[in-house]
A = this chain, B = another copy of it.
Amino acid sequence: MRNLNPGTEAPRYHQLALALAERIGKGEYPVGALIPGEEQLCREYSLSRHTVRSALRELQDAGLVQKRNGVGTRVIAAAPARAFVHTIGSVDELVQHALDTRLTKHRTRLVKADARLARDFGCARGAALLRIDALRIANQAEGEVVIAWSRIHVLGAYAAIADELASVHEAIGTRIEARFGEHISAIEQLASAVVLDAQAARRLAVAPGSAALRIDRRYLGANGKPFEIATSLHPADRFTLSMRLDRRHGA
């Protein structure tokens, strides 16, 4: 039987959690191995099962172990992950469009998925998609400013979204979620720099050859496949992608 009480200040379940974390960190219980069962830990440390379980929950919350009914408690990491997390409360926070923006000059067209779109969407070639080309503009003190030109493809099932584009101030993915019951399970985003060609420069009303921030976003639905893929070109001087990542301890 082992003894705890290195100060009697902390709760016993926490002392046990620290003790077990140390044994895990030292490799006594290597990653992938099972630690002793709850009953055995009760005997070993002279604690009630409730207390032992509290300690194990702490280790689980810290991402060190994983429990499986009928099997046991398995070590999944030797040290708590000290990850950074970037949290946003809504899609609009990601997109960073001020509330006072809207889409204009939108043109929609039903298209059939070519090889590239079929691959990106994980759908069959020839499947119906809605293509939306639009400018996003913001109202500012000096008048209206073009923030981005966007090309958006959405699954044909949501093509009816086309009839409300003029009144959509939020991200389109959010509208689809609300209107059609789709569920955004994840968003993938790529940011890169590009030089605008003549056509793109004309759309954005900037000089050809100027730089732009290109952002590609894929909105993944409940099945893990994208239901909307959008590409936006932002004039370099009018848009910056910003984010803050906070350190988080544990899992």
Chain A: residues with Cβ within 8 Å of the partner, total of: 43
Which residues of B sit under 8 angstroms from A248, Cβ to Cβ? 87
Q: Are B247 and A185 in contact (CB under 8 A)?
A: yes
**Chain A, range 147-178, C-beta contacts under 8 Å to B:** none
Which residues of B sit under 8 angstroms from A85, Cβ to Cβ? 85-88
**Chain A, range 79-95, C-beta contacts under 8 Å to B:** 81, 83-91, 94
| Measured CA separation A185–B247 after assembly (Å) | 5
Contact with B along A185-229 (1 / 0, CB 8 A): 111111111110000000000000111111000000000000000
Instruction: Decide yes or no whether A236 CB sits under 8 A from chain B.
Output: yes
Which residues of B sit under 8 angstroms from A184, Cβ to Cβ? 247
Q: Are B189 and A246 in contact (CB under 8 A)?
A: no
- Beyond the given A188-B244, A189-B242, please list 9 additional residue pairs across the A-B interface where CB-CB is below 8 A: A83-B89, A84-B88, A84-B94, A186-B244, A186-B245, A186-B247, A191-B191, A193-B194, A193-B214
> Could you name 11 residue pairs across A and B whose Cβ atoms are closer than 8 Å?
A50-B50, A86-B87, A86-B88, A186-B246, A187-B244, A188-B244, A189-B243, A190-B242, A193-B211, A193-B212, A193-B214
